[in-house]
Amino acid sequence: MTIAFYLAALVAVLSTLMVITRLNAVHALLYLIVSLLAVAVIFFLLGAHFVALLEVIIYAGAIMMLFVFAIMMLNLGPLAIAQERLWLPPRAWLPPALLAGVLLGEVGYLLAATGAAVIHPEEVSPQELGALLFGSYLPAVELAALLLLAGLLGAYYLGHGIGKDEP
């Protein structure tokens, strides 16, 4: 278990460093998703299965949806698609795919070794989760909401007027 923890931590740190150092936003996003998945594996290893599930659903899923939403609001045309194909050749998928493969293999090993395929987690009601999120974690929830709103407004501002003949 210790080796699996350190391996997941190494993948998280490496992929986070790649997020910071990439010049292309799409490449950085791929590494960010791998980093979030690695953190979910760490939560799983620590016994916080529900938090690991929330990490994958909320963070990795929300970031992907925000990115897709920003692309939709920017109203990119065929020229941008051709440029993206140049920026994201198939070989650019190899490093994040390898890191994600390491995480997938690690989770498979853990499920097989510990018999965690039959997990009986403690049941959490929506009321308990809501009380926790809007109780002691309220500042973090509000900060995340403000960051998502800032991203939405930024995408709207950047996309407003593309393809229009405005002075």
- Per-residue pLDDT of 101-119, as tens digits, reads 888 888 788 777 776 544 5
> What's the pLDDT at 164?
54
More confident residue, 90 or 73: 90
Q: For the domain that residue 105 is a member of, what is the CATH number?
A: 1.20.120.1200
Query: What is the span of the domain harbouring residue 35?
Result: 2-122
Residue with tokens 């350190």: 6
Q: Give the length of the chain.
A: 167
What pLDDT, in 10s, does the model give residues 113-150?
Answer: 776 544 556 677 778 877 877 888 788 878 888 887 88
Together in a domain, 107 and 150: no
Distant-in-sequence contacts of 21-25, Cβ < 8 A, 24+ apart: 24/87, 24/88, 24/92
> Who's near 1: CB < 8 A, 6+ residues apart?
45, 110
List b or e across 38-65, with b for residues whose CB sees 16 or more CB atoms inside 10 angstroms.
bbbbbbbbeeebbebeebbeebbeebee
- The count of structural domains within the chain is 2
Residue 55 to residue 162: CA distance in whole angstroms: 35
63 & 92 share domain: yes
- One domain, residues 131 and 118: no
What's the pLDDT band for 81 if we cut at 50, 70, 90?
low
Q: What mean pLDDT is predicted for residues 35-51?
A: 85
Same domain, 107 and 147: no
160 and 137 belong to one structural domain: yes
Cα separation values, 93 from 28, 31, 156, Å: 11, 10, 29
Residues 16 and 34 in one domain: yes
Q: Lowest mean pLDDT: which of 29-33, 42-46, 74-78?
A: 74-78
pLDDT of res. 116: 53
**166 pLDDT band (50/70/90 cuts)?**
low
Asked if residue 159 and residue 101 are part of one domain, the reply reads no
Residues 82, 140 within the same domain = no
Taking the model in full, what pTM does it have?
0.53
Domain co-membership, 64 together with 81: yes
Same domain, 108 and 146: no
> ∠77-28-97 over CA atoms, to 5°?
100
